[in-house]
Amino acid sequence: MAQLPPQTIQRDPQLFYWILFPITVVMILTGILRHYASVLMASPPKKVDQPSLKEQRSLMHGVAVRSNSHALSAPSFKARREFLTTAFESGAYLKDPERRGQPPANPMTDPGAMDGMMGMMKNNMAMMVPNTLIMSWINTFFSGFVILKLPFPITIKFKSMLQAGVATKEMDPRWMSSISWYFLCYFGLQFVFNFLLGSDNAASQMAQQMQGMAPQAPNMFGPGVDADKQFQAEAENLAVIKHYSVLDDVEQRLLEGIKTR
């Protein structure tokens, strides 16, 4: 098998100082900037007022009673069940009891909901704006430069990825163009940021994209959810639960467990 002589391209060493290095530095600095920008822009968690806190916690309490009912003895569970089902059904824990039965308010008009959306918008903007800027900056100044050669061989499939912006057919895919270096930094700098800023930084776009892709957890207490319906459902759950107690026959279990050990 005839071995092709390795391609050699004479590169100006200045390419390293004026393209490769600046792109890397700019990418790192943007990441850090983005981190601090998002820290500055982060709105503090909104204060929850007492009635809505009560509404949420009461519902959680109901869930806890239902799922941990086994820790109670039969009479004390019965008492709690009666009390909670009546309270839930009568809407005693609701934030504003007058609004029972009305359809939930439009989330767009609710200032609380708007806040959350604004936060998301801000995050997205912080991600989009610098990316567009850097991309166009590289495209105007550095397009068409071949700046480095990877030290390992790769297959022809990578050609389109690594040599974006350089339209030559015959060139070995190991050669890399400036725009490809940008992409490599874009995806590969996460660990640098982890090192510089700690693991929960906001610098890395990758993490944020992952977050965006993950299915949104159903928001239990978010706007647009009818708390009254949740309470009714919880009351029903409580009412139908078949109660057993860990205290039933615990002494038998204990004696057997000790014996078998």
Partner 1 sequence: MTSSLLRPPGHLSPATALQLSQQAPNIIKNSPGAVTASAFSSLFSAPETPELWTIYENLLLSCLRTGDEESAHLCLGRLVNRFGDDNERVMALIGIMKEADATDDATLEVVLKEYEALLQENPTNTPIVKRRVALLRSLGRIPDAVTALTGLLDFSPTDSEAWSELSDIYFSQGMYGQAIYALEEVLVLQPNAWNIHARIGELLLMSIKSGDQNDSAKQLGEALKRFCRSIELCDDYLRGYYGLKITTTQLLEDPPKPSKQAESDGLSPPNLPTLQKLDGLATEKLGEITRRFTAGERGWQGFDEAEIVAARELLEKSSSTTVR
Q: Residue 60: phi, psi to the nearest 5?
A: -65, -40
Site string for partner 1, 197-216 (x = CB under 8 A): -x------------------
Span of 69-77, 153-161, 175-183, 219-227 interacting with partner 1 by CB under 8 A: 69-77
Site string for partner 1, 5-44 (x = CB under 8 A): ---------------------------x---x--------
Among 25, 29, 125, 247, binds partner 1 (CB under 8 A): 247
Site string for partner 1, 160-199 (x = CB under 8 A): ------------------------------------x-x-
Span of 3-11, 58-66, 128-136, 174-182 interacting with partner 1 by CB under 8 A: 58-66
Is residue 117 at the binding interface for partner 1, with CB under 8 A as the rule? no
Q: How far is the CB of 22 from partner 1 (least distance, A)?
A: 21
Q: What DSSP line would sit under the chain, residue for residue?
A: -PPPPPP-----THHIIIIIHHHHHHHHHHHHHHHHHHHHHPPPPPPPPHHHHHHHHHHHHHHHHHHTGGGS-HHHHHHHHHHHHHHHHHTTT-S-GGGTTSPPPPTTT-HHHHHHHHHHHHHHHHHHHHHHHHHHHHHHHHTT-EEEE-SS---GGGHHHHTTT---SSS-TTEEEHHHHHHHHHHHTHHHHHHHH-TT-S--HHHHHHHHHSPPPP-SS-TT--HHHHHHHHHHHHHH-----TTTTHHHHHHHHHHH-
Q: Measure the CA–CA gap between 7 and 132, rounded to whole angstroms.
A: 34
Q: Which is nearer to partner 1, 139 or 237 (CB)?
A: 237
Among 43, 68, 209, 219, binds partner 1 (CB under 8 A): 68
Q: How far is the CB of 220 from partner 1 (least distance, A)?
A: 13
The number of residues that bind partner 1 (CB under 8 A) is 39
Residues at the site binding partner 1, with contacts judged by CB under 8 A: 32, 36, 47-51, 53-54, 57-58, 60-61, 64-65, 68-76, 80, 196, 198, 245-248, 250-255, 257-258
